[in-house]
Structure 1
């Protein structure tokens, strides 16, 4: 019993240290996200959810996977914030449905070719005009298609936040998801990695990122969206769910 108590104390101390070192990151992301959401969304609620995402990120981060901790943690923090407000219905469900279709197409193309699928290839495989697919990439960047609660809700299960907390199985899923996410980020095309780093880690806006890359804001949004769709397509945790939803 004494050993267990000591272990819990070490865990608490580690969590407190992570929060102390990266609390400013959580606050920046909360304000960054709140500016794009309805006024009814409280920044303090986002910060509280983000702190939980930060702790989860610290537990599941693996430096060997290629993503920096701040980039990895920023995505997990933002995901936790969006999980918290998903019931607000600020992202149309059609965005999630179309994003699932695109991610499944990317998965199929990349598994077949062994390389990153281009936007032109994905659009052709979906029998969708390229401009329409580019708009879908922008929608994916504004939505959240990497959320575990989004995945659970897609399966028709109850929202874990509403139940007061995740089950042990869902905690395990989060840990596995975190490891997969870090690995997948590290294997994105270089430009997509850069956009994620500048957006989530450096907190640059689309205009600023566009200036760095020498492209328009719209193009940055598309690159961001393509990265999001590619990540979902490569994460095994979504594969069985997406396949079931396509039947």
Structure 2
């Protein structure tokens, strides 16, 4: 398994020997994440980390290969999660525009605006609005960037983090934030509230939700993007303060 230089060169043997370790770590990471995170994506990323560890490891590092590989596997999974947290800048701006439109209409109408009303507020056709929601299918409730204030971004959680990644986790786990999030979901139109329950609580995928709601998978994706925009808008409106 080792060459004269101390490097592992039997990639197939390494994968077979440590596949269970990768799967175990993937399920440990998945247990702390939303249902939208696919276990297969984590396993694939972990395997890439394992192979990278095999190519880089040298016995004279002083660490056991399993210890070294575990670090590389975990790091690769974290890289996968960070990449999943990314949307093109233009699309992120479009979704902020949707959030602002929803917020303005909510304030003026005193109720959740319809899709047609949001499209009119954005000065686009309903078909273009649906297309925008489809393109923003990866939109999420919370981004790490929400905790990092910049001049051209509209962040609403940055004041709760003191430049420490562990603070981000504490904010998200705080009872005040979870209560605010629950209230925001409760204010959704019934159809979107049902969708979010099926997605995050029942852990159904988009195709399965489509079957339950009798709509296409692409329509579920549109409704999910819109529900996320509504929730983010409500959270901003509440000006959630969280822990001091």
Q: Same fold (TM over 0.5)?
A: yes
Distance 1:42 1:239, change over 3 A: farther
Q: 81, 92, 105: which is aligned to 1:85?
A: 81
Say whether 1:165 aligns with 2:166: yes
Distance 1:207 1:126, change over 3 A: same
The higher radius of gyration belongs to 2
Partner of residue 97, structure 1: 93
* Alpha-carbon distance in 2 for matches of 1:161, 1:217: 40
CA RMSD of aligned residues (A): 4.2
Residue 98 of structure 1 and its aligned partner are, at CA, apart by 1.0
Q: 132, 139, 160: which is aligned to 1:136?
A: 132
Say whether 1:193 aligns with 2:193: yes
Partner of residue 63, structure 2: none
Partner of residue 37, structure 2: 33
Number of residue-to-residue matches in the alignment: 179
For structure 1, the residue ranges without an aligned partner over 5 or more in a row are: 1-22, 46-80, 241-247
Bigger relative CO (Cα 8 Å, ≥ 6 apart): 1
- 1:184·1:234 contact (CA, 8 Å) conserved in 2? yes
Please give the residue correspondences for 1:33-72 in structure 2 after superposition, counting only pairs within 5 Å: 33-34=37-38, 41-42=45-46
Residue 197 of structure 1 and its aligned partner are, at CA, apart by 0.9
- 2:35·2:203 contact (CA, 8 Å) conserved in 1? no
- 2:192·2:223 contact (CA, 8 Å) conserved in 1? yes
Residue 99 of structure 1 and its aligned partner are, at CA, apart by 0.8
TM score, norm. by length of structure 1:
0.57
For structure 2, the residue ranges without an aligned partner over 5 or more in a row are: 1-26, 50-76, 152-157
Distance 1:127 1:152, change over 3 A: same
Q: Which structure has more helix as a fraction of its residues? A: 1
- For residues 115-161 of structure 1, give each alpha carbon's deviation from its aligned partner in whole angstroms, at most 9, with x where no partner exists: 111111111111122222112223444222x215231235367xx69
Residue 26 of structure 1 and its aligned partner are, at CA, apart by 4.7
Residue 40 of structure 1 and its aligned partner are, at CA, apart by 6.8
Say whether 1:177 aligns with 2:177: yes
Partner of residue 123, structure 1: 119
TM score, norm. by length of structure 2:
0.58
